[in-house]
Amino acid sequence: MIAIEERVSLKRRNLWGRFMVMLLVLSTLIVMIPLLIIIGYVIINGIGALNWEFFTEELGSPARAIQGRPTGLVHTIIGTLVVDTMALIIAAPVGLGAGILLSEYPDHRLNPPLRIINDTLNGMPAILKGLLAFSIIVKPMGTFSGLAGGVALAFVMIPIIARATESALMSIPWSIREAGLAIGLPRWRVVLSTVMPAARTGLVTGFLIAFARAAGEAAPLMFTSFGNNYLPRHWTGMIFGPVDTLPQRLYSLAISPYREWHTMGWAAGIVLMVFVIGLFITARLMTRGRRY
Amino acid sequence: MMLETATDTGKERFKTREMSLIGQAPAKELDVRMETRDLSVRYGQVKAVKSVSVPVYNKMVTALIGPSGCGKTTFLRALNRMHDLTRGAVITGKVLLDGNDIYHPKVNPVTIRRRIGMVFQKPTPFPTMSIFNNVVAGLRLVGIKDKKFLNEVCEKALTSAALFDEVKDRLSSPGGSLSGGQQQRLSIARALAIEPEVLLMDEPTSSLDPQSSARIEDLIHELKENYAIVIVTHNLQQAGRVSDYTGFFYLGELIEFGETEKIFTNPVNRKTEEYLTGKFG
């Protein structure tokens, strides 16, 4: 028998190995470069507008910025948190329920259609979800509102939460469920009291990722929460009246004809970026924990 | 087959059956707790268990032995309806508990599993629960809140599982913090806490060191005073040590069933003898 060494030399195989690793490093760099460019570019352009007032003042009219009077995006930051939180409150139970059905009830007859619907919803352009919220909330209410924005973003979050919930639950070994069934627990109780607590880190991570993804959406908010240059006089205005949000404000500032507002748009970009990246890093750190 | 009445005890039937299998009637009066009648399990097209009829006697240990893939675990899991969640598993025939078919459409599998406990091959403490909560999970999670009662049950179950002395000072630490052998005894305590009538054990010592295995075997000896026990094991010596009755499975069929002593010393079937003498398996 001819030894392998005589067919393909060890040296050549080592060379191939190194070449392949180099290719991997190259593609990693290509993935990282756009991210670094975005981060760098946004910071360079926006850092000038980031001052104390940016976080404490409302935007007001363009004149404020042009004349150098105090102006900021406090109403936008608050609005973003309010709208996104509303969306999460709506989406979390629905997405969680769908995820549990996907993972724990594979025999249920709604399981296959739910999987298809969820994937379709996930792939559907966000602007269409805005359209949906427009037709079911904005039209009947007769006004743009934070609630409509929350509903639109909830449709963005639901399929993400459902998928994350499913995979978080699936990562828990089947033996845990059998152990629960074997001591005479009903199936729902097994899921609720043994599987879900074991998967809680994964579940929370799913919420965070969905939150971060939705927080970056501008399109569905354009004709739902619409935007607002001021804080509503009363907090209920955040829910039932037009509300400002970061991605939509970023867009409005960017297409405005004022140089000062352009800089503020970049600054809004920094805030949004820090917010979203912060969420993703938190989610990432959380999943580093225990594995079963 | 002709066995439509689910109420006869099956004692007579198995007396005669045993005679035909081992050539001699059992010496003492036996109390049949469970029995299967022509029980078959198939996964899709694959028949894993083929028409097995076997009794489970009260206060006795029944060991199921056989080479890997012979269907003994599949058979065991059919005894407390564990296959209900397995996709594509089809079960035919009957499994009687005190004469009643546990697969009857009107029977709730949850109530069956409260009467027929199970211990698995790998220890399975609930990862987020304390030792105490693990033991009383089967009671607490169905709504029993009486702390005093739960404490009593916990102590009793842990004592029966020969674990109480080792963990009594740290009942609130996580179940996962115990050693493998302790975790397995915790799993047994959890199964005992709901006071089942039958205890199924699927290779309960295969993932344990010899010392822990010996403890579990001692435990089985003590537990059989109160339970009917069915144990699946790969370890022939273990089957010989702990069981009163032994069933030998091969290729999904029950080849031979009878008193352990007789099966081990004087098997009727050639296949059984070959397996016991290590010719295959």
| B218-234 pLDDT tens trace | 999 999 999 999 999 98
- Residue A212 to chain B, least CA–CA distance (Å): 28
**How far apart, in whole angstroms, are the C-alpha atoms of residue B103 and residue B111?**
12
Asked whether this complex has an ipTM greater than 0.90, the answer is: no
Q: Residue B28: is its pLDDT beyond 70?
A: no
Q: Check residue B11 and give its pLDDT.
A: 46
Return phi, psi of residue B161, to 5°: -90, 10
Interface contact flag, A184 B82, Cβ < 8 Å: no
Q: Check residue A107 and give its pLDDT.
A: 85
For A186, the closest chain B residue by CA position comes to: B110
Q: CB within 8 A of A161, min separation 6: which ones? A: A91, A92, A94, A95, A96, A98, A99, A206, A207, A210
Buried b (16+ CB within 10 A) or exposed e, A147-159: bbbbbbbbbbbbb
Q: Are residues A102 and A219 both part of a single domain? A: yes
Q: Check residue A1 and give its pLDDT.
A: 60
Q: Check residue B4 and give its pLDDT.
A: 40
The answer to whether B256 and B263 are in contact (CB under 8 A) is yes
* Average pLDDT of chain A to the nearest whole number: 93
Q: Which of A107, A181, A183 to mutate to test the interface with B (most CBs of B within 10 A)?
A: A183
* Average pLDDT of chain B to the nearest whole number: 88
Could you identify the residue written with the tokens 């059989």?
Answer: B224
**B28 CB near a chain A CB, below 8 Å?**
no
The answer to whether A218 and A251 are in contact (CB under 8 A) is yes
Q: Residue B20: is its pLDDT beyond 70?
A: no
The answer to whether A210 and A84 are in contact (CB under 8 A) is no
**CA A236 and chain centroid, separation:** 25
- Residue B194 to chain A, least CA–CA distance (Å): 7
Contact map slice: B 187-246 vs A, CB within 8 A = 187, 190-191, 193-194
The residue range of the domain holding A44 is 2-49
CB nearest A107 (choices: B82, B87, B109)? B87
Interface contact flag, A176 B193, Cβ < 8 Å: no
Pairs across A and B, CB distance < 8 A: 72
Q: Are residues A33 and A167 both part of a single domain? A: no
| B108-148 pLDDT tens trace | 999 999 999 999 999 999 999 999 999 999 999 999 999 99
Mean pLDDT value across residues A162-183: 94
Among B45, B38, B70, residue whose Cα is nearest residue B252: B70
Interface contact flag, B138 A107, Cβ < 8 Å: no
Residue A178: its chain B contacts at CB < 8 A? 82, 85, 118, 120, 124
Mean pLDDT value across residues A175-203: 94
Q: Are residues A59 and A39 both part of a single domain? A: no
| pTM score | 0.84
Residue B79: its chain A contacts at CB < 8 A? none
| B90-104 pLDDT tens trace | 999 999 999 999 999
For B135, the closest chain A residue by CA position comes to: A183
Return phi, psi of residue B224, to 5°: -70, -10
**Any domain includes A292:** no
**Any domain includes A253:** yes
Q: Check residue B86 and give its pLDDT.
A: 82
| A221-250 pLDDT tens trace | 999 999 999 999 999 999 999 999 999 999
Interface contact flag, A183 B82, Cβ < 8 Å: no
- Residue B114 to chain A, least CA–CA distance (Å): 4
How many helices, marked H, and strands, marked E, lie in chain B?
12, 10
**Any domain includes A91:** yes
Interface contact flag, B118 A182, Cβ < 8 Å: yes
The answer to whether B60 and B220 are in contact (CB under 8 A) is no
Mean pLDDT value across residues A176-196: 94
CB nearest B141 (choices: A177, A193, A290)? A193
- Give residue limits of the domains in chain B: 11-124+197-276
The answer to whether A230 and A58 are in contact (CB under 8 A) is yes
Q: Are residues A23 and A85 both part of a single domain? A: no
CB nearest A194 (choices: B117, B122, B126)? B126
**Any domain includes A255:** yes
Q: Check residue B6 and give its pLDDT.
A: 43
With respect to CATH, is domain B11-124+197-276 assigned 3.40.50.720?
no
Q: Residue A89: is its pLDDT beyond 90?
A: yes
**Any domain includes A265:** yes
Q: Check residue A213 and give its pLDDT.
A: 94
Q: Are residues A34 and A61 both part of a single domain? A: no
**How far apart, in whole angstroms, are the C-alpha atoms of residue B137 and residue B194?**
9
Q: Residue A93 maps to which CATH number?
A: 1.10.3720.10
Q: Are residues A33 and A117 both part of a single domain? A: no
Interface contact flag, B118 A292, Cβ < 8 Å: no
The answer to whether B94 and B79 are in contact (CB under 8 A) is no
Residue A107: its chain B contacts at CB < 8 A? 87
Q: Are residues A124 and A236 both part of a single domain? A: yes
| A246-262 pLDDT tens trace | 999 999 999 999 999 99
Interface contact flag, B127 A106, Cβ < 8 Å: no
Number of domains chain A contains: 2
Interface contact flag, A178 B127, Cβ < 8 Å: no
Of the listed ranges A42-46, B14-18, B153-157, B272-276, the least confidently predicted one is B14-18
Mean pLDDT value across residues B13-17: 47
Return phi, psi of residue B63, to 5°: -100, 140
Q: Are residues A108 and A16 both part of a single domain? A: no
Q: Check residue A11 and give its pLDDT.
A: 85
For B121, the closest chain A residue by CA position comes to: A175
**Any domain includes A112:** yes
Residue A194: its chain B contacts at CB < 8 A? 126, 128-129, 137
B3 burial level (CB within 10 Å; 0-12, 13-18, 19+): middle
Q: Check residue B24 and give its pLDDT.
A: 46
Q: Residue B270: is its pLDDT beyond 80?
A: yes
Q: Fill in the DSSP letter of residue B208.
A: S
Q: Are residues A96 and A240 both part of a single domain? A: yes
The answer to whether A35 and A252 are in contact (CB under 8 A) is no
**How far apart, in whole angstroms, are the C-alpha atoms of residue B186 and residue B158?**
7
Residue A106: its chain B contacts at CB < 8 A? 87
